[in-house]
A and B are shown apart, each in its own frame.
Chain A
Amino acid sequence: MPDLLTDQRSSGDGPIDGVPARTSHDAIQRRRRLDRRSVLVFVLLSLIAAGSATLFLTWGVNGYWDYALPRRLEQLAALVVVGAAISVSTIVFQTLTENRILTPAIMGFDALYILIATTLVFMLGSETVVGISSVHLFALNAILLVVVATLAYRWVLTDTSRGLYTLLLVGVIAGTLFNSFSTFMFRVMEPSEYDTLLTTLYASFNLIDTTVLRIATALLVLGIVAAVMMAPTLDVLTLGRDRATALGVDYRRTATKLLIIVAGLVAVSTALVGPVLFLGLLVANLAYQLTRTQRHSITLPAAILISITALALGQALLQHVFNYAGTLGSIINLVGGTYFVILLVMESKKT
């Protein structure tokens, strides 16, 4: 993580802070304090995340290490992959749309992935689909999601005539539409087809689909590398669309690239645990609050650490303390939904 930080400072902030007048003594002092703060935040977050992961791995094993550890490691890996994918996709998406409320999940990306997966089964028929390996199926779904989501959302998002709330409402309804359409196709399918595909299409935190873990991890790494490489551009985008354009960012091209990254990462998380509506919103906002900066070299890893903590600790507590009293997904939706209402009300009072 630290190399990311140093690497970032020279390239990312050059165009923003390059104006001589602003590199005053005062500003440098402030920057130092911020850096010290973010190092501290990182150390703490890493410790907590590592602690949560250890807890998840070791709690209540009762000596059955040979049996428990490999299974739990695999599950932990999936949780880490999901957490990272959701964090990065959310922050990139929020930077692109210039606000802290919109997230890919709320805008219907997850629902679109399910719709595409269902449509594929519907078109090809279950016999064909069962013949295709799940890895190939995932790749096909991911590619289709990237193409469809990038085209559709670039059209919706780059039209600046719509306000934030309209955009948000459009996203929420679009998500409902995608979900309803998936349900519709499910109903039309033969009951037997429906049964065989239920497990492959509907993963959850209690039923992680680990068959695609490797390819999902590969896609995640690809997405993160791309996001880190574009971090300087993302930092410039936080200045606002007009200023970013004035500073030489080709907005439409950048938007396309970023949406491709976001869609790829959404495919990763949705394939492993299904749609998670509000995790991205929670961890991204928590990361902004803790790090108090807009620099992506800092916010991205912080959000990843927070979501790993939330998922590993949440799942561990759920299994051992609350005896599976609920699903992790529904708890996240409950907390996140309430937080979302508060965010909305606060945002509307601001304007």
Chain B
Amino acid sequence: MSQRRSVVAYAPWLALATLVYISLFVGVINIDLRSVLTDPDDRHVLIYSRVPRTAALALAGAAMAVSGLIMQHLTRNRFVAPTTAGTVDAAAVGLLVATVWFATAPVMGKVLIALIFALAGTAVFVFIVQRIRFKDVVFVPLLGLVLGGAYRAIAEFAAFRHELTQALNSWFTADFSGIIQGRYETLWLAGLVAAAAYLFANRFTAAGMGESFATNIGVNYRLVMAVGLAITAFSTAVVVVTVGAIPFLGLIVPNLVTMALGDNIRRVLPVTALVGASAVLACDIFGRLVIAPYEIPVGTILGVLGSAVFLYLVMSRKGRFANA
């Protein structure tokens, strides 16, 4: 048993380390470990392009996966994630506002505006969900997707007027090909916030049990809800502004991890972050290789993979998903 435990504990780390190594040395310019030490040009490629890109991939993946996990615990619904709660679409509306009216704002200013919209958009979703007494498990994500579609329609309408349709589309599809040093550092903040979520892990579990239960054991329900939603909205806003949305990652990774490890959030959260980072890294490496020297964006690959896994989860709603 303990043997098996240790394998499960180390496997995600090992996978992530392998993928990081591959990510550092896969790309249009061929570099390897030895040439990096000897050739200054190769070292330049590594430091200014490959390391930032790899870090950005891992951070964005971890942050989005953790966001999804938190959302699922707080809403007590396995199908809720930034993609299925309108958060991503609301953040895109915010980024559009920032681009049109605050074009000169620094990156953090744009993140802030996107964050405000993401929070407001998610709050509307939570508001509607809390007002519906009858809750079919699939009804909640359905509502979120449709609400997100409405936000998106607003964004499309405004984008058309300001000739930003192409930019808008790019915000919905994560693309790391433009990442170099100096263009991704905001993602460290998202990673940091996701790590901070670990401190609240037990309180998220308590809040997930319901307001009265949480209050009974001395947890400030409203505060924990607010912290949880702020963490997810912030991660989403940063990722959308910096690289574009990573569709469905926050939905499928936590589900796959909790399927294997159970629901103890303190135990699952670090693994979720590792698997999220690994998933995005793997998809990006695949995207770099499949039509090299061109690239397929991560968002496109995860759009296919994520919706396929999501579809499978919904269609095979038996056992643990029946009343999830």
Contact = CB atoms under 8 A, between A and B. Distances in A.
B315 A170 contact: yes
Nearest to B132: A348
A160 to B, nearest CB: 15
Interface string A157-183: 000000101101110111011011101
Interface in A212-241: none
A174 B301 contact: no
A141 to B, nearest CB: 21
A177 B304 contact: yes
Contact of A165 (B142, B154, B247, B310): B142
A151 interface: no
Interface string B288-324: 0011001011001101101110110011010000000
Contacts of A337: 146, 149-150, 153
A175 B287 CA distance: 23
Interface residues of B, number: 42
B276 interface: no
A184 B297 CA distance: 9
B142 A344 contact: yes
A173 B146 contact: no
Contact of A163 (B131, B136, B141, B173): B136
A187 B161 contact: no
B147 interface: yes
Contact of A326 (B161, B173, B294): B161
Interface string B31-42: 000000000000
A45 B311 CA distance: 41
Contact of B139 (A165, A187, A188, A338): A165
B86 to A, nearest CB: 10
A341 B304 contact: no
Contacts of B48: none
24 contacts: A165-B136, A166-B314, A169-B79, A170-B314, A173-B307, A174-B311, A176-B247, A176-B303, A176-B307, A177-B304, A177-B307, A177-B308, A179-B303, A180-B247, A183-B300, A184-B303, A188-B291, A188-B296, A277-B149, A327-B156, A331-B157, A337-B146, A338-B150, A345-B131
Q: 10 shortest A-B CB distances, which residue pairs?
A: A180-B303, A337-B150, A177-B307, A333-B153, A334-B153, A169-B138, A176-B307, A180-B304, A165-B138, A330-B156
